[in-house]
Amino acid sequence: MKKCIISFLILFFLVSVGCRAETKEGLNPAPNFKLQDIYKNEYTLSSYKNKQPVMLFFFTTWCLFCRKELSKLNDRYLELARYGFELFAIDVGEPIEKVDKFAKGYSLAFKILLDKDTSVAQAYAILGVPTYVLIDKKGLIVSTGNTFSERKVKDLISE
């Protein structure tokens, strides 16, 4: 328990320094990233711009709320994919072996990316996990929160 609290405080400190510029519309451009998944495939956010909306889900394996949300996402993944969303679950700061074992134990159907040095969490100013970030086709952040926003997802589907 003490290790979890210390890890969270370190993560909080590291990500609290991040910031983003605003566009004319008042929406923040999503910071680009290049991360590997648990199979060492690389993904770059910019490759999805002007193609499809993206949902990022920042998590850790030790977070109980993250586990509940990951189960919900696993249940909704096919529906999200059918509506054109790409879903990336981004583990913040944990070793690949731990995340791989966790993902296989939960039979997660979507891509699990590794933010080993927490730089992506910092760029997105993540203050804790779980955190959802919803990005539209233009590459703008339309929603950030700790719970799944059904309304924001439906808004993006209807665009």
Residue 112 to residue 94: CA distance in whole angstroms = 12
CA angle 39, 80, 26 (to 5 degrees): 100
Residue 3 to residue 24: CA distance in whole angstroms = 42
6-43 confidence digits (pLDDT tens):
444 444 433 333 333 333 356 899 999 999 999 999 99
Which of 11-15, 39-43, 82-86, 111-115 is predicted with the least confidence, judged by mean pLDDT? Answer: 11-15
Residue 46's pLDDT is: 97
CATH code: domain 2-157 is 3.40.30.10
